[in-house]
Structure 1
């Protein structure tokens, strides 16, 4: 039913500032507030409140068939403006919409000449959930995403669920110390891929972006660094290397 994550929506108080910040972060130019990377888009929209990730928009081969299937699975939606917006009570308050799958889009143009130092794709999007079994039922059972890994680690104080969606992962993170509840889920953070993490780190440092030093990632064969500015309040890491969950 779901072919890919088409794009994410970020709403920001200062639209031009947020677009400029992400042009610096990605090393790419936006077109009318929209970035296209190798496997996902990021649309930045004006919002008169605190900046935040505001929606996930999935692509499906047939919007009509997806609507019928989701209705049978207890996930109602509303059609309008060429998309199906799922009911918040069914998605546990994570804003989710589906659109008809389209032809692949060209990458947003580079700001500079160094492709290896740019952000090339999304590695995973993070959703924080107080109820991981509820998340399995929704993302795996109702949306039909492929649950590839279910991992708990006392050192992380977390249970992490990894759902494959095309060439990226929808990660569900549960804070084990808080126990279980029926509180809403939260669309929370992003992990971006770069072809060369050392060159990307050097480019962003030169551009004045606040970063941690690169460190070993949780996946063998990867390195990551945390981005502390130029993200419009979205918790963000950049990952390099060939590791996969």
Structure 2
């Protein structure tokens, strides 16, 4: 049913500031910019997914929704959209699995620069069934090309996306049994007081984390943060330092052969690390 993560949405208060910030971070220009019903979007396309920035821009129903979300949670990750190859079959399966999807709707967007149009069909699972995370499912008529590089040592792809949960069994059942993501690892690291569950889809990893000291609870899950993959971590770090971002020293990642650093500024509320993988993929 699911082919991969189509995109993640980050809400920002000012679209121009968001575009400038993420162009600096990713080393790429947005591939698509549009505005409709009071909301402006910019899409950065990577090898295995896209990042969609969204901000209020004027008045309209969409602007009201975005402003309300920003007032409630601030800037940061807001929703995820999985790609599917057949929206009707996906809707049928989601219904049978108790995820209470909305009716399928048609969507379209016009790029401000090229005046090209994109079309898609989508549905959304109920927030109650997905434990508070807004999950959409999209069938696209056309995929965008990768965003052009604007700086050396750019981000190539999304390595993993982190979801924090008070109940790992509940979340594992959602992403593994119901949505069919490939579960790769279930490990507790006592020194960190954390249980980690890894699911793979479309060339990236969903990392579910649970702080074991808190015990199991019934609160909502949260899209916690991201890890951007690069080919040369030293070159990317030097580029970001030169652009004025606050980044940590490189360090060894938890996975053998990986190196990471933390990006402390310029992420618009998104906890962010940059990672260089070793020879073997997760």
Q: TM-score under structure 2 normalisation?
A: 0.83
How many equivalent residue pairs? Answer: 242
Q: Does 1:55 align with 2:79?
A: yes
Match of 1:64 in 2: 88
Matches within 5 A, 1:1-245: 1-30=1-30, 31-32=32-33, 33-46=42-55, 47-48=66-67, 49=70, 50-78=74-102, 79-81=104-106, 82-101=121-140, 104-112=143-151, 114=152, 117-242=153-278, 243-245=280-282
Deviation per CA, 1:26-45: give whole Å up to 9, x if none: 01111311100110100100
Bigger-Rg structure (1/2): 2
**Unaligned ranges ≥5, structure 2:** 34-41, 56-65, 107-120
How far off is 1:80 after superposition? 2.1
After superposition, the CA RMSD in angstroms is: 1.2
How far off is 1:177 after superposition? 1.1
What SS does structure 1 have at the residue aligned with 2:191?
A: coil
How far off is 1:103 after superposition? 5.0
**Unaligned ranges ≥5, structure 1:** none
Matches of 1:77 and 1:216 in 2, distance apart? 41
Moved over 4 A (4+): 101-104
How far off is 1:102 after superposition? 5.1
Verify the 8 A CA contact 2:22 2:267 in the aligned structure 1: yes
Q: TM-score under structure 1 normalisation?
A: 0.96
